[in-house]
Amino acid sequence: MPRLSSLARNLTTETAFSVLAVARSLKATGKEVVELEIGDSPFPSTPNAKEAGIRAIQENRTGYCPSLGLPELRRAAAGFVGEFGIEADADHVIVASGAKPFETYFAEALMEPDDGVLIFGPQFPTYVPNLNRVGARPVVVPLRAEDRFRPRAEHVAAFLREDHRPRAVILNSPHNPTGGVATGADLDAIADLVRGTELVVLSDEPYCHMVWEGTHESLLSRPGMMEHVVAAYTMSKSYSMSGWRIGFAVAHPDVIQAMGKLINTSSSCSPPFAQLGAVAALERDAETRDEYMGRFRRKVERLSDGLATIEGVSVDRPAGTFYVFPDVRQACNRLGLTSHGLAMYLLQGADDRFGVACLGGECFGPEGAGFLRFSCAEPDEQIDRALAFLPEAMTRVDRVRRYLDVHPEHALAVPYVP
């Protein structure tokens, strides 16, 4: 076997896709599974996006294009972020295959080895491995349920004061996996700390239209933040275009040019027909987008309200996203399962013919232990079936014992502290 690099040997991945593979393999054997594990939309891509993408292929818009992105998409994206109070033009915008690549480009363009990067945990699981690519050093501080999982400016202040090389902050609002949303006051306080320092911020905003309390606000809209912030967006969530792999970032033009070199030397460019679909979505699909967001909100309320009735489960409606992040520490302590073990038991062991796929909170770092993450990416009737199954599954103590006999790695060694 060829000798792999230390990066390749140690690189961690997004667990949602691993659980997705288990769920699909079980379904292939005939087991019925309600899939609430993956953060994908159950709705079709918006209509004008589809029409424009098909037309672009028919018109042979299938060759190379500028690494920074098509000028028409860069202009449309600059107009789009104006809705969040961000003053930008096309020179502030760069296009990539979704929002996730900007984790890598942010690190490669702005980090040096041993630079400290503040992350609020639990966190999206690819933040840390993308920092590892450049030798940057993650510094994780916990979000708290009692704060409704909002980032606290005092943690940024402590990071600036105490870290020996404070360089960056990764800010994700609305937040995956918790559904927390930073308020305007939170962002004002963070901006006051960042302004005038060498800190840079990746403001990861893929759920910008999934804010259920108040409205979405961006750190980049605060005075002076264009010198500090890279704000990343995607077509995947609001416009149900996850498979198109199109997103964009807004930042200072010098940062945009540096990221353009990274794209030029790696992926060359994003497909032009997908970019033209994105232009059509941004310019003409707001009505469909808003209808989808209303449907997502009702799904979130349905799921969170249903989970709140289950013994051993505690949850409030999330302020944003299409995820629900219930506290299951009491249930885990009673059953002797870790939270990831509980998730896998619900999928694999609770019933031979039916299962529910979700994620243990520790899939998002140790700060998520004792919680589960449910996505709302299933029809309402499937969500209802999952809600009916979960409390029954949690009473099947004999099946839990049999599951732990086969999977002792999921046993809870030390009870969670409520």
pLDDT (tens digit, 9 = 90+) per residue, 2-14? 999 988 888 888 7
Residue 44 has pLDDT above 90, yes or no: yes
Rounded distance, CA 169 to CA 94, Å?
20
Tell me the average pLDDT across 64-89: 98
In the CATH scheme, what is the code of domain 47-284? 3.40.640.10
Q: How distant, in Å, are the alpha carbons of 143, 225, 324 from that of 350?
A: 31, 50, 21
Entry pTM? 0.95
pLDDT value at 377 more than 90:
no
Q: Where in the chain is CATH 3.40.640.10?
A: 47-284
Task: Specify the pLDDT at position 18.
Answer: 86
- In the chain, helix, strand, coil percent, each to 5? 45, 15, 40
pLDDT at 164: 98
Domain with CATH 3.90.1150.10 in the chain: 6-43+289-410
252-304 confidence digits (pLDDT tens): 999 999 999 999 999 999 999 999 999 999 999 999 999 999 999 999 999 99
- Give tens-digit pLDDT for 120-150: 999 999 999 999 999 999 999 999 999 999 9
Q: Element (H or E) spanning 273, and its range?
A: helix 272-284
What pLDDT, on a 0 to 100 scale, did the predictor assign at position 42? 92
Judged by DSSP in three states, 217 sits in coil
Mean pLDDT of the chain, nearest integer: 97
What average pLDDT does the segment 76-94 reach?
Answer: 98
The CATH code that applies to domain 6-43+289-410 is 3.90.1150.10
Q: How far apart are CA 357 and CA 175, in angstroms?
A: 21
Residue 308 has pLDDT above 80, yes or no: yes
Q: What is the DSSP letter of 416?
A: P
Beta strand 200-204 with 323-324: parallel, antiparallel or unpaired? unpaired
